[in-house]
Amino acid sequence: METESIKKITINKALTCSLDESVMDIAKKLRTGKERRIFVVDKNGKMEGIITTTDLVYKALCDGDKCSKMNAKELMVKAVKSVDLNDDFEKALEIMNELKTFNCPVTDNGKLVGVISYHELVDYLFNSVKK
């Protein structure tokens, strides 16, 4: 079976924050959205980084008083692997496997468009084989 473009899979909305959002605002967004990760984007929607709940615990909460003054730019992990809309499934699976995660951000020329999950990839592939 030929690999197909990411465009054929359901792309879920990604939780985002701006570079200057406070740690408290980020924590509230994560709790409200019941998410484990938030993507940091600039004014144009370009993905700049990612913050996970683990980052909040280890980097922010452990720093005590400094925590309340931190923003997304100070807390985020900058090197985020992602797939472009025109990439194929294989690249997304490689990234998920390498990072031992079940989600992969999707960009369009660097601009964050959403997140795909391992479940959606497997579901799409399974249904393609059944046809």
pTM for this model (two decimals): 0.87
Q: Quick check: 1 pLDDT over 50?
A: no
The domain ranges of the chain are 6-130
Two structure tokens written together for 34: 């019941």
Q: What is the pLDDT of residues 45-72, one digit of tens each?
A: 999 999 999 888 877 666 666 666 789 9
Place of tokens 């701006």: 18
CA dihedral 50, 89, 124, 85 (to 10 degrees): 60
What CATH number is given for 6-130 in this structure? Answer: 3.10.580.10
Average pLDDT, the chain: 88
**pLDDT per residue over 12-41, tens digit each?**
999 999 999 998 899 999 999 999 999 999
CB 90 within 8 A of CB 5: no
pLDDT at 3 over 60: no
